Amino acid sequence: MDNIPPSERSEIMSRVRAKDSKPEMAVRKLVFAAGYRYRLHGRKLPGCPDLVFKGRNKVIFVHGCFWHRHENCALARMPKSRLDFWEPKLQANKERDARNTELLMRDGWKVLTIWECELKDIERLKQVIRRFLDA
């Protein structure tokens, strides 16, 4: 049972963003500061990647650990209520992500997924991004 009234839960959920989330904005800022230029939300590509580097044939997804079920991450804990709703929904997100990554790779794109929890170590993340984009 949810201990928050439906009206309040609705308000909370309405603030969840699909684009321009705080983790995505942080990654965009890092990438731009490192001198890389990109396009946003490639609608013609499977999964609509957050950052698209067309000339390099590379894309970056910035995933929230909860919504995309990051393995072995404390932020990806399952809610305590309405499991009949949440389990299939979150599993479908994870399956869709895998399918989109496979389609992109089949089309010759290299894919990097950055997880929300990885933003805790900015220096390490900068290195990961540089290695990915320079390779």
What is the spatial distance between Cα 121 and Cα 89, in angstroms, rounded to a whole number? 29
Examine residue 48 and state whether it is found in any structural domain, yes or no: yes
Asked if residue 128 belongs to a domain, the reply is yes
Q: Answer whether residue 82 is part of any domain.
A: yes
- Check residue 19 and give its pLDDT: 72
At 26, is the secondary structure helix, strand, or coil? helix
Domain-embedded: residue 6: no
Per-residue pLDDT at 1 exceeds 70: no
CATH code for the domain of 86: 3.40.960.10
Q: Tell whether 61 is covered by a domain.
A: yes
| Residue 29 falls inside a structural domain | yes
| DSSP codes of every residue in 39-99 | EE--TTSTT--SEEEGGGTEEEEEE-HHHHT-TT-GGGPPPSS-HHHHHHHHHHHHHHHHH
- Per-residue pLDDT tens for 6-51? 777 666 666 666 677 899 999 999 999 999 999 999 999 999 999 9
Which residues 6+ apart lie within 8 Å of 93 measured at CB? 67, 68, 69
Range of the domain at 88: 18-134
Average pLDDT (78-92) is 91
58: in domain = yes
Q: Write down the pLDDT at residue 25.
A: 95
Q: How far apart are CA 134 and CA 111, in angstroms?
A: 13
At 99 the pLDDT is: 98
What is the reported pTM? 0.86
The residue type found at 66 is: F
- The DSSP line for 59-75 is EEEEE-HHHHT-TT-GG
Instruction: Give the total number of structural domains in the chain.
Output: 1
Tens digits of per-residue pLDDT, 94-134? 999 999 999 999 999 999 999 999 999 999 999 999 999 99
Q: Contact at 8 Å (CB) between 129 and 33?
A: no
